[in-house]
Structures are given as C-alpha cells and as structure tokens.
A and B are shown apart, each in its own frame.
Chain A
Amino acid sequence: MHQTSHSIRFLYKGRYPPVLVPLTTCYPKNKHMAWYKREKKGIITPTSAKKETPEGHWYKCPKCKNVMNSRDHKQNAYTCIECNFHARIGSKEYFEVFFDKNEFTELDANMMSGDPLNFSDTKTYPTRIQQSQYKSGLKDAVRTGHGKMKGENIVLAVMDFGFIGGSMGSVVGEKISRAIDFAREKKYPLIVVSKSGGARMMEAGYSLMQMAKTSAKLALLAEAKVPYISLLTDPTTGGVSASFSMLGDFNIAEPEALIGFAGPRIIRETIGRDLPEGFQTSEYLLEHGFLDFIIDRTEMKNKLAGLIKMLK
C-alpha cells in the first residue's frame, strides 16, 4: 500500500516495515485522496473515494508477499489475510474502521497551519505544507470527529503519517486539544489514534508547546472522569509519544508497531551498538508494563465498545 520513497533513510534490522527517521520530508503519497461531500448543518461525511479499491485491484503484503484482493484486504481492516500484517493506514481508513456505517461529524475540518517562524530549510515551510496537502489530500496531520461506535458516542482523533511524517505542529496540537474539550463537554469517551514521528521541527518552539497544551487538556479531561483510550500505531515516537499518546486511561497498541521516545537510529548512534531484537515494538512495551493490551485492528471496534460500555 505504501511504497518506500526517498524519505525512508534506513532499515531497522529485525522488524518490518522500515522505520522513517522522525520528521523528514513528505512521506509517500496517500493513494486515497480524501473526497468530501459537504452536507447541510455543516456536517461533513466522506463519500467513498473514487480511486478506492476497484474490483480487480490487488494488494501485495510487504511482509509475507502474499497477493490478495484489495477489497478483501480492506474488509479485513487493512490487515493481511495471511499473516496479520497491519498496513499503515490514515484517518480516512480508521474512521471507516471505528464509526458505525462510516458516519461521523468532522471537527475543525478546515484548520490549517500558519508559518509563525517564517521557516525555511531546503524549501519554505508553506511550500512543504502545500506539497503535502496536494499529495495527501489532507489539510494537516490529524483529523478529528465524533460519531457512534457500536451505538456508543465517541470522539475520535486520528493522525495521518502521510502528512509530513504525522508530525505535530500547532494544527495537530490545537485540533487534538479541541477534540479533548469537546469530549469533556459532551462526556463522550475519547479515542486518539497516534501515528507520528514526533513534533514538527518547522514550528520549533510552537510544536514543543503542543505537548504541554494537549497534556493540560488531558488533565482537565481526567478531572471530568471522561475515559480516554490512546491507541498507539506504527510508528509513534518523539513528542507525540512523550505527551498525549502515553497519557491514556488505557494505552493500547496494534501488533508490531514501533513505539518509543527516541528513534532507533538516534539510540544506536548514542550507545554505539546494535539494538536488541524486537526493541521498541508493541510487544516489547507490553512486556515492560507500558501498554494495557495489544489488539488486532479487526477486533478493535468490538473490544473498545465493550470496554466503554463497562465504564458507564
């Protein structure tokens, strides 16, 4: 589904898929452009994408190399029918997985990034944003919304790794903060799906403070006793793992995801030796006590709806 590109700069031995260095340039194009249909009352519901898995399209699993019908792969929540490999998917696909009949109301759908630092490296930040928007069909690296999951109201925020490595700048911080506020006001349980290389360098100090802002909002949410489920997916590192991702009442993960504070490359360079097999995987974090459980994407909806019902 996702092909490698120039932005993948090294291979991490012992696990798949290759790990992206946090916060590099654009990630491979999201083949599924988001198409929206704006309805009355400001409700936005995605319609089925034009390019979406037409009959006769095939999906080749990057792990076991088996080929399967794209539609079957989609129906299996984008996990491999043969080996259970969880493909990296974005907000559009997670919304399909979580929301009943894929019906939801998106929040702050038009929020876009500013350029508070007038940042420029090999290209200007606004150029980078525009290119990312064009390639991904997204406005920034997170989408938020509310709707029903097995009949239960939830607020859902999903990060898009396809947008500048899922990096957190002001937009991600603000949208997640507002989603938390919304969950607190409505008393709807909050689910955040993290998939990020960390904070966004091009907003420097502003990005750093998004860690503080989202955590502040979560402190308020906790005080209001509204449940917060944090789902960590491949990959979740840096400023995102060191803020809202690790602050769930329930910290859960998809199988074999890369989860950590520092990226494997940085650690290897710092300590000057190879990293142990399975280091920084979901399974490793579960073993060391930082996750409540690991769950297959196909079972996610049932299990989380069941958990939420028990908390009522």
Chain B
Amino acid sequence: MLLDFEKPIAELEQKLDDMKQLAVESDANVADAIKVLEQNILKVKKETYTNLTRWQRVQLSRHQNRPYTLDYIHEMCDNFVELHGDRNIADDKAMVGGFGDVNGQTVMFIGQQKGRNTKQRQYRNFGMANPEGYRKALRLMRLAEKFDKPIVTLIDTPGAFPGIEAEERGQAEAIARNIKEMFTLKVPVICIVIGEGASGGALGIAVGDKVMMLENTWYSVISPENCSTILWRSWDYKEQAAEALKLTADDMKGFKLIDEIIPEPLGGAHANPKSTYETVKQVILKEIKALQKLSTEELVNRRIEKFSGMGEVQE
C-alpha cells in the first residue's frame, strides 16, 4: 500500500529497476541513462519530502511499514528482557516495556505497541492502552528508578482506549497519576514520539528531561479527524484540521513544546529502517550521557521548570 505522494516515486524506482535489469540482460549501454534517472529520483524525493503538508506527515506517521516500538527495541538492544503486567489486574498488550542493553548501557524501555496485520492490531488494541497499561508503565518506571537506570519512552498511539472497562478502571486517574509521578522520577527520562502522539494517551508516558519527535510524526491534543468532527462537524476537514492544529515536529519544536527533532531518512523511517534505528540509538546514548552529568535535584527541577514555562497568555 502506497500513499498518494509515494506513488510517483515508486513508479520512477520501478523504471530504474527495469533499466538495470535491461543492462544485465542485454549489452545495451544504459549506464548514463541510469545515472540520469537516479539523479531524477533523488530530486523528486527531496522535493516531495521537504514540501510535505501536515496531513501528509500524519499519513507517514501511520504508515503501515513504519517501525514500531518493539522493532526499535529489538534492533537497538544487544539484549532485551521484556517485563509484563501492572501487578493488579492484567498485562496490557498495547503498552510494552522492559530492560534493554544498548551498547553496555542498561535502559528501561517503555512504549505503546501497534500491530502490523489485522490479528496483531487487535492483539495490540491498535496501540491504545487501558489504565493497566499506564499503571504497568509507571511500575516499570519506578523499577528503573530503584536500580538507577535511565528511562526511554517510545510514543506511538492514536490515544488512550475509550471503553467501558477503561473508564471503570479509571483511565483518567491512571494517566493523571503517570503525568504527575513522572515529574518526581530521580533518573533521566527521554521521550521520543516515533509515530502518533495523540493527546493524554501519549502524554501519559511523555513527561521527560528530553522530549523528542521523529521528523514525520505528530503530537497534539487531538487527532485531525476528531478535531474535524468536532469543529467542522464532519470528517472531511481533516487536512484543514491538521494544518490548524500545527501538530508536526517542526511546529512543536518551533513552539518549544518539544526539545529536539530526530531526522528520518529520505522517504521516511520505513524507507530505511536500519539507518533510523541507528540514528535513534545514537541520540539515546548521547542524551543519556549528557543527562547523567546532572544531579538528581537538577534533573527533577529542570524537568518541572521546563513544563512550567509552557503556555502563552496575555496579562
């Protein structure tokens, strides 16, 4: 499945493949033609991906080939021990976590997990955690704190799950508690939006010393579709809603609501997952190193101060 703006590029790449095949099969000298076509493809790609609309970025953030939380963890870690359960009622499959070894540095990874096919999507509840997911996340954060290990959260959710049981078990309370408790964690916390960062469901694991977004992700108070439904009374205005919400990494960095943008390979994270994993891994190691230089007090105070400064009012 290709996105609309991916199609012209895919067609050119198909042409290139055909030409290369021709070169192998016959003696035709197409070396120059291949070179020209390759340059053309690069040009088209650069043009396309530097001029994406906000809605197109949203589409990329949800791309079905995009790396998910466990993909990052398995690729970045030499060893990973997944941990389960909130020690109360269940193990939420939409929220995963555990200790990982990244180049000799132990890290507690926590993140929402999406599924790639119909069965997995249902198993992971489309990356929409229930209260036990947020409570599991908090349990793992406290565990990391106990053993003085940094925490990395990977955010990729269309929102916290809106269901009867979720309400019954206190979805609002679970998210609120996480947000508050994350301000008191005595270890470095790094938060990276790797796909969708929808509202409280995202923020429930996204209070950190460094909050970052991959280049083609979104992070806002509501999805463009839901915003369109409420403000325009129709789903048809999702593109306008995406524009109005200013929900891309560039926007959020411009507002100083996040700290950094992590660049993606040309074509998006899924175009070259290996290089994406490597980039994210290096960023994590660098940030951990920098944050470990701060005292516990400095860490917590800076975290609180950073978020306290967010907002724009007139007096």
Residue numbers of A with Cβ under 8 A of B are: 21-24, 108, 110-114, 116-117, 119-122, 170-171, 173-174, 177, 199-201, 203-213, 215-220, 222, 237-239, 241-247, 259-262, 266-267, 270-271, 275-276, 279-280, 288-290
Most B C-beta atoms less than 10 A away, residue of A206, A207, A244: A206
B104 within 8 A of A: no
Complex-state Cα separation, A133 to B237, whole angstroms: 27
Task: Say yes or no: A212 contacts B313, CB within 8 Å.
Answer: no
Task: Say yes or no: B163 contacts A271, CB within 8 Å.
Answer: yes
The residue that A211 contacts in the complex, of B167, B171, B203, with Cβ under 8 A, is B203
Task: Say yes or no: A261 contacts B199, CB within 8 Å.
Answer: no
Task: Say yes or no: A208 contacts B203, CB within 8 Å.
Answer: yes
Contact string, B251-276, partner A, CB cutoff 8 A, digits 1/0? 11001010000000000000000000
Chain A residues in 8 Å Cβ range of B180: 215-216, 218-219, 222, 247
Query: Nearest 3 A-B pairs (CB), nearest first?
Result: A262-B162, A170-B311, A241-B172
Task: Say yes or no: A114 contacts B312, CB within 8 Å.
Answer: yes
B35 within 8 A of A: no
The residue that B257 contacts in the complex, of A23, A206, A215, A260, with Cβ under 8 A, is A206
Q: Which of B45-53, B78-86, B110-118, B302-310 contacts A (4 or more CB under 8 A)?
A: B302-310
Q: Which of B10-18, B91-99, B240-248 contacts A (4 or more CB under 8 A)?
A: B240-248
Complex-state Cα separation, A119 to B181, whole angstroms: 32
Chain A nearest CB from B199 CB (Å) reads 6
The residue that A206 contacts in the complex, of B162, B168, B240, B255, with Cβ under 8 A, is B255
Complex-state Cα separation, A177 to B310, whole angstroms: 11
The residue that A219 contacts in the complex, of B160, B184, B241, B255, with Cβ under 8 A, is B184
Chain A residues in 8 Å Cβ range of B161: 270
Chain A residues in 8 Å Cβ range of B163: 262, 267, 270-271
Complex-state Cα separation, A227 to B137, whole angstroms: 27
Task: Say yes or no: A111 contacts B314, CB within 8 Å.
Answer: yes
- Interface hits, B214-244 → A, CB 8 Å: 219-222, 227, 230-232, 237, 240-241, 244
Q: A116-B255, A208-B220 are in contact. Are A243 and B179 (CB under 8 A)?
A: yes
B177 within 8 A of A: yes
Supply 17 further A-B pairs (C-beta < 8 A) apart from A201-B230, A205-B257, A208-B203. Answer: A24-B230, A112-B313, A114-B313, A119-B244, A121-B232, A121-B244, A170-B312, A204-B244, A206-B311, A208-B220, A209-B307, A209-B311, A219-B304, A242-B204, A244-B176, A259-B172, A262-B171
Chain A nearest CB from B169 CB (Å) reads 7
Task: Say yes or no: B184 contacts A212, CB within 8 Å.
Answer: no
Task: Say yes or no: A204 contacts B247, CB within 8 Å.
Answer: yes
B183 within 8 A of A: yes
The residue that B231 contacts in the complex, of A199, A201, A270, with Cβ under 8 A, is A201
Task: Say yes or no: A111 contacts B222, CB within 8 Å.
Answer: no
Task: Say yes or no: B176 contacts A243, CB within 8 Å.
Answer: yes
- Interface hits, B139-174 → A, CB 8 Å: 160-164, 166-173
Chain A nearest CB from B42 CB (Å) reads 33
Task: Say yes or no: B247 contacts A279, CB within 8 Å.
Answer: no
B107 within 8 A of A: no
Complex-state Cα separation, A117 to B246, whole angstroms: 7
Count of chain B residues near A, Cβ 8 A:
55
6 A-B residue pairs with CB within 8 Å: A21-B230, A212-B179, A212-B203, A212-B310, A262-B166, A279-B164
Complex-state Cα separation, A105 to B80, whole angstroms: 56
B175 within 8 A of A: yes
Q: A121-B244, A288-B168 are in contact. Are A247 and B177 (CB under 8 A)?
A: yes
Chain A residues in 8 Å Cβ range of B240: 121
Task: Say yes or no: A242 contacts B314, CB within 8 Å.
Answer: no
Task: Say yes or no: B172 contacts A216, CB within 8 Å.
Answer: no
Task: Say yes or no: B311 contacts A246, CB within 8 Å.
Answer: no
Chain A residues in 8 Å Cβ range of B257: 205-206, 208-209
Task: Say yes or no: B176 contacts A117, CB within 8 Å.
Answer: no
Task: Say yes or no: B164 contacts A114, CB within 8 Å.
Answer: no
Task: Say yes or no: A122 contacts B231, CB within 8 Å.
Answer: yes
Chain A residues in 8 Å Cβ range of B237: 121
Chain B residues in 8 Å Cβ range of A112: 313-315
Q: A204-B220, A219-B304 are in contact. Are A22 and B230 (CB under 8 A)?
A: yes
Chain A residues in 8 Å Cβ range of B167: 260-262, 267, 279-280
B200 within 8 A of A: yes
B207 within 8 A of A: yes
Chain B residues in 8 Å Cβ range of A119: 244
Contact string, B191-209, partner A, CB cutoff 8 A, digits 1/0? 0000000011001100100
Chain B nearest CB from A120 CB (Å) reads 6
Closest A-chain residue to B202, C-beta based? A208
Task: Say yes or no: A216 contacts B199, CB within 8 Å.
Answer: no
Chain A residues in 8 Å Cβ range of B204: 242
Q: A201-B222, A206-B311, A261-B200 are in contact. Are A242 and B176 (CB under 8 A)?
A: yes
The residue that A246 contacts in the complex, of B176, B183, B221, B255, with Cβ under 8 A, is B176
Task: Say yes or no: B176 contacts A245, CB within 8 Å.
Answer: yes
Complex-state Cα separation, A81 to B313, whole angstroms: 41
Closest A-chain residue to B167, C-beta based? A260
Chain B residues in 8 Å Cβ range of A215: 176, 179-180, 183, 207
